[in-house]
Structure 1
Amino acid sequence: MIIGIGNDMESIARIEAVLERRPNFLSTILTKEEIQAASERTGKHYLEFVAGRFSAKEAYSKALGTGIGKKAAWQDITILNAPSGRPEIRVRGQKATLSVAITHSGDYVSTIVVIEKLSCFERMKKKHWEKKR
């Protein structure tokens, strides 16, 4: 059952400007693991990564219905890539199943996050499918 869906769109140039104005912005919005992953990228790919994570965290907070604050803090949300390259979202204390999609086009990044509560049968089916991969 879907609990929430959130989406966000962000200008990559806007995030670049914020990074230039506020040196602590990166450590405010990204976890240590995300900062490490970002440091492995350069130029446009670095900016897309940071903007994508910012946007995905905003989308998560919208799916939750609370915005960023007490129930969804920047540092509670981590989005890293699976070995396949697909982004995966983890949230401290979140027991529901989370899905995230991040896409870039020109100067924009767009994200969507879905929060689902799976039935016992759905969890078993998912676990079985993941073993086959």
Structure 2
Amino acid sequence: MILGIGTDIVKISRLNIKLLNKILTESEREICKNYAINRKLEFAAGRFAVKESLTKAFKIFIPMDKISVLKDDNEVPYLSKETHKYLKNKFGNVNINISISHEKEYAIAMVIVEKLED
């Protein structure tokens, strides 16, 4: 059963290096540490969009430091085990699908939260 859907769009130029520590978790910062500045901001904008989308899908504020969006070997984004554990403790057994896309100066994310049977 669909519990919630959230989407968010971010204009990449609104971000700056100072905001990265507020937006990104340590794991996320590790992923992008060697990126050029423009790619780093694009990466952060996508993560910010996911975090805002999650808050919208759950209809409740979730601190950014509790949400860590990693990527697999194929560059597919996924939520960390720690994030899943936090969300399961707070909301029960859920499956979370995320998608991030970038186009020129924008990053957009969509999140679908499914309630699973216990």
CA distance in 1, matches of 2:34, 2:116: 35
Sequence identity (%): 32
Name the aligned partner's letter for residue 110 of structure 2: I
User: TM-score normalized by structure 1?
Assistant: 0.76
CA distance in 1, matches of 2:67, 2:26: 11
**Pairing 1:1-133 to 2, within 5 Å after superposition:** 1-16=1-16, 19=17, 23=18, 25-66=19-60, 68=61, 72-90=62-80, 91=83, 92-95=85-88, 96-119=94-117
Cα drift, residue 119 of structure 1:
3.8
Name the aligned partner's letter for residue 75 of structure 1: D
- Unaligned regions of 5+ residues in structure 2, if any? 89-93
Q: Deviations over 1:43-97 (max 9, x none)?
A: 332111011111110011000102x3xxx11110000101121000242421211
| Larger Rg, first or second structure (1 or 2) | 1
The count of corresponding residues between Structure 1 and Structure 2 is: 110
User: TM-score normalized by structure 2?
Assistant: 0.85
- Unaligned regions of 5+ residues in structure 1, if any? 121-133
Match of 1:94, SS state, is helix
CA distance in 1, matches of 2:30, 2:112: 26
RMSD: 1.5
